[in-house]
Structure formats: structure tokens, C-alpha cells
Amino acid sequence: MDEPVEKPEPVRGEEARRVKREILGIADRRKHRTREMTPLRAHVKEPDARHRVYRFRFYPDAEQVEQLSRTFGACRWVFNEGLALRSQGWEQHRVRVGFAETCRALTGWKRAEETTWLKEVSSTVLQQSLRHLDQAFSRFLRGEVNLPQQKRKGRSRDTATYVRTGFSWVEDGERAGTGLLKLAKQARPLAVRWSRALPAGTEPVRLSVVRDRAGRYFVSVLVEERVGPLPPAFVRGSQEPTAVGLDLGLASLVTLDDGTKVGHPKLLKRYADKLARLQRELHRKVKGSRNREKSRQKIACLYARIRDVRKDMLDQLTTRLVRENQVLVVEDLSVSTLMRGAPNKGRRRKAGLITAIRDAAWGELLRQLTYKCEWYGRTLVIVDRFFPSTRRCSACHVKGPALHLSIRKWSCTGCSTVHDRDVNAAVNLRDEGMRLYWLVAASLPPDRAMPRLIRASALEEAMPTA
Ligand SMILES: [Zn+2]
């Protein structure tokens, strides 16, 4: 980001209206309102309803390919026009053009002779494109990001979002959770490969259709699910909640305190090798050439593949862990924690890629654990990053010297227990997490449920002073 500059005051009132009307050519609101005012039914979310996205591949027929391609193009065009309008308004006249105004402009574009082709595309889809622009532009105005970029064919992801009125859904009576999904302005339903069933009886709330760089089509279905907490998990025959400590590592992605190691380093390495090779290839190709574009596509595909594999693997892991355990303990995710395991500067790029893949996995793991604990009534404890999980002996709690990354096994100077580096760390995390858990439990009034998230660094504020 650039140097912080003094925020200019936006122009408001009559002057702003004049600029919008005379310079930007946006129709007045009043005229628009009397004609198109339809009451919106507010969507009421049930308290235990959760939004969840399921992604499926689908195979469009020739007609659908054509229609979708037009839709993607129109979304891009509308996004760019809206962006031009908003940035022109802001940068030249200090006038803020809002979502509703871009929608009014859209109505105008659809009427204009040279852009009547916009009518071939569902208007709700185009409005969603403006909605995305609105979110991006608001972030820009808040100073969080740079000005949104124009979408370019072949450069930006091809995507279109359909809200509830933009598609129809008929659930299959024989196979619950699958059915017929038909998009607005299309004659036939999509040929979706139902790799899994949606929760039976759910109504999709929103769809987004994506064509990836490899030319594959996916539909992401947002559904509202009723998710209740699971019954509490206790150690067999006691009132002690079950707990697990998770350690993040380079040798394996995740190590559990029972010694389980998850996340195949070989898989990670294979991807990193391939990624490094593709990137070398890319750098050799002439800028702007066809071959370079092909190379870039391959890299994008590989990234997508890594993301998919990682997400699936972590999804299965976190679901299992959350089902089996009442308390889950992890280390704090902060940049410095992650950098601790990073290879030295000047080490090969590949090692950096492995680290990058792993760090992204850790972020994803934390994200999943957080929402699943929230959904299923479990507690996630995030231990302070200064806690010496690696150096401490989990048997006698003697704190040894810092361990070099290459040391996988060590023996304690206090009690001579031989430790696996990562398992020892996971055990320490679990113990420390449980200490914090009981600390919080003791401070709560008896009728209060345990919080879903305990963060060591925020504990002082959360704890009532005794
Ligand atoms: Zn020891």
C-alpha cells in the first residue's frame, strides 16, 4: 500500500446528485423507485442454521457452454463499467457512487442499443457482479486494499453468482440431496456430477458457477444446514473431557499427541517439485507469448489441485478430531510462529514452496477447527506462541535448550525420556491447553457453558478478576 494520504472529504448532497446525473449519466432515483419497487422478503436465518458450501463439477452441453460464456463476459463487462463509473466519480469528482446507483446504471445499459446483449443474461447475475464490485470498492474506500482491478478475459476467473431467483432446484425423490439444477436463461438443467449428496431437504440459497483456467466447470452450492452440538465427549468411564494436542511441523503437516502424523510430506514435496519446475519453465518463456500463457495455466491448475487435496484431507481430519474430542489444542497462528520453521534465506525455492503450502494448510486447519468447534459445541484452545512446546520435556517438564530443526528425536537431560520432537510438542500443547481449559472452567459460574474458543493471549481480559 502507498503512504497514508489525508483522506479527502466526499462531495455530498445536491452537488453529488448533479455530478451523477449530468456527468456520470446515472438516472435519478425517484423515477426508478416508483416503477420498480418490489418488496423484498427478508431472509430469516434459524438460530442453529449454518451456511455451508458444496462444490460439484458439471458438464455443460454446447448450448450451455455458449450461454455461460456470454454470462461470464457480461459479468466482466458490467463489473468493469461499474468500476469505471465508481472510480471516475471518486477520483475526478469525489462523489461516491453506491451499489444502488450502479444497478440503475445497469438498467440504462440494458436499454442502450449497443449493449442490448446484456438482456440475454439474467439480471440478478449481473447485479451480483455489481455486488462484488461494491464489496471490493468499499474495502478500497476504507483503505484496506488498492483500487479494484479491471477484469480481463482469460486473466480473471470466470465466475457468475446466482441468487435464489436466478435458478430453480427440484430435489430428486429417489436420491435425496441430488436433483435438477437449472440456471436462469437456460433451457436444460445442468449435468451435475453429484460426488456427494447435499443434506436431504435443504434448499440451495445461492449458487456460483465457475469456469477454471483448465476449462472445467464447477458449481458451488450454498445451503443452509441445521447443525446442533454433539453430545459432550468424555474419556471412557470418567467426567474428564477428551482432548487432543496438534503440532504443526515441516516433517509432517500435523502431529497429534497420540503419535499420529498427518499430511504426507511426500505429497507435499511432489507438488512443490512440480510447482518449482513449472515456475522455472514460465520464467524461460517469452512474455506475452502463447506458451507462457499455457505455462501460467498449468501453474494455476496445480495450485487449484493442491488446494483441493489439502482441503479434503483437512476436512476429514478436523471432522474426526472434533467428533472424538471435547477440547482441541493448537498453537497460536502468527507470522512469527510460522516463520520459525521457515528455511534460511538463500535456501532453495522449493523449500520455500513446501513452507508456503504448509502454512496455507495451517491457516485452513485453524479455520475449519474454529467453525467446527463452534458448530458442534467443542472448545478450541489456542496456546500462546511463546509457550515452549518443543523444548519442554512432556514427562518431567524440564525445559531444555532450543532444538535445531534437523533434530527429530532427543532425550531429556532431566529424566532421560527419549522424545519424538513433534509428538512431545503435541503432548505439551495438550497439557497446557487443558491447564487453561480448567482455569477458565473454574472461573465460570456453574450454569455457564464452556466457551467455544479460548485464546491464551486474550485470557486476561476474558477472565473475571478474582
Ligand atoms: Zn524429562
DSSP result, 424-444: HHHHHHHHHHHHHHHHHHHHS
What spacing in Å lies between the alpha carbon of 257 and ligand 1's midpoint?
A: 16
Nearest CA-CA partner of 121 in 157, 75, 81, 154: 75
What spacing in Å lies between the alpha carbon of 237 and ligand 1's midpoint?
A: 29
What spacing in Å lies between the alpha carbon of 395 and ligand 1's midpoint?
A: 5
Q: How confident is the model at residue 3 (pLDDT cuts 50, 70, 90)?
A: low
What spacing in Å lies between the alpha carbon of 415 and ligand 1's midpoint?
A: 4
Residue-wise pLDDT for 332-355, tens only, equals 865 444 444 444 444 455 567 777
- Domain membership flag for residue 250: yes
What spacing in Å lies between the alpha carbon of 397 and ligand 1's midpoint?
A: 6
Provide the domain count of the chain: 1
Q: Is 331 a catalytic residue?
A: yes
The CA distance from 413 to 397, in Å, is 11
Catalytic residue selected from 224, 331, 359, 431 = 331
Please determine, for residue 221, whether its predicted confidence score (pLDDT) is greater than 90: yes
Q: Is 2 a catalytic residue?
A: no
What spacing in Å lies between the alpha carbon of 457 and ligand 1's midpoint?
A: 27
What spacing in Å lies between the alpha carbon of 399 and ligand 1's midpoint?
A: 8
State the pLDDT at residue 335: 46
- Domain membership flag for residue 345: yes
User: Which helix (H) or strand (E) is 131 found in, with range?
Assistant: helix 123-141
Chain centroid to Cα 130, Å, comes to 21
Please determine, for residue 394, whether its predicted confidence score (pLDDT) is greater than 60: yes
- Domain membership flag for residue 177: no
406 vs 100, which has greater pLDDT?
100
- Domain membership flag for residue 170: no
Domain range enclosing 347: 243-265+311-462
Nearest CA-CA partner of 318 in 384, 256, 229, 389: 256
Q: How confident is the model at residue 465 (pLDDT cuts 50, 70, 90)?
A: very low
Please determine, for residue 383, whether its predicted confidence score (pLDDT) is greater than 70: yes
State the pLDDT at residue 6: 60
Mean pLDDT of 267-276: 80
What spacing in Å lies between the alpha carbon of 429 and ligand 1's midpoint?
A: 16
What spacing in Å lies between the alpha carbon of 381 and ligand 1's midpoint?
A: 24
State the pLDDT at residue 36: 52
Q: How confident is the model at residue 321 (pLDDT cuts 50, 70, 90)?
A: very high
What spacing in Å lies between the alpha carbon of 251 and ligand 1's midpoint?
A: 23
Catalytic residue selected from 101, 224, 422, 431 = 422
State the pLDDT at residue 163: 94
The set of cell numbers assigned to 27 is 438516472
Contact assessment for residue 172 and residue 119, using Cβ atoms and an 8 Å cutoff? no
Q: How confident is the model at residue 313 (pLDDT cuts 50, 70, 90)?
A: confident
Please determine, for residue 307, whether its predicted confidence score (pLDDT) is greater than 90: no
Residue-wise pLDDT for 283-302, tens only, equals 888 888 888 888 888 888 88
Catalytic residue selected from 224, 247, 257, 359 = 247
State the pLDDT at residue 222: 94
What spacing in Å lies between the alpha carbon of 423 and ligand 1's midpoint?
A: 14
pTM metric for this prediction: 0.68
Residue-wise pLDDT for 106-165, tens only, equals 998 998 888 888 989 999 999 999 999 999 999 998 888 888 999 988 777 899 999 999
387 vs 76, which has greater pLDDT?
76
Q: Is 312 a catalytic residue?
A: no
Please determine, for residue 359, whether its predicted confidence score (pLDDT) is greater than 80: no
What spacing in Å lies between the alpha carbon of 327 and ligand 1's midpoint?
A: 25
- Domain membership flag for residue 220: no
Nearest CA-CA partner of 61 in 49, 53, 69: 69
Show the DSSP H helices in 19-122 as ranges. Answer: 29-36, 62-93, 99-111
Contact assessment for residue 78 and residue 138, using Cβ atoms and an 8 Å cutoff? no
- Domain membership flag for residue 100: no
The set of cell numbers assigned to 137 is 470498492
What spacing in Å lies between the alpha carbon of 406 and ligand 1's midpoint?
A: 20
- Domain membership flag for residue 260: yes
Residue-wise pLDDT for 6-58, tens only, equals 667 788 888 888 888 887 878 776 554 555 555 555 556 666 777 888 999 99
What spacing in Å lies between the alpha carbon of 428 and ligand 1's midpoint?
A: 12
What spacing in Å lies between the alpha carbon of 458 and ligand 1's midpoint?
A: 30
Amino acid code (one letter) for 360: A
Distances (CA, A) of 437 to 167, 238, 432: 47, 17, 9
* Chain position carrying cell 512474455: 287
- Domain membership flag for residue 434: yes
The set of cell numbers assigned to 207 is 449458487
State the pLDDT at residue 220: 95
Q: How confident is the model at residue 436 (pLDDT cuts 50, 70, 90)?
A: very high
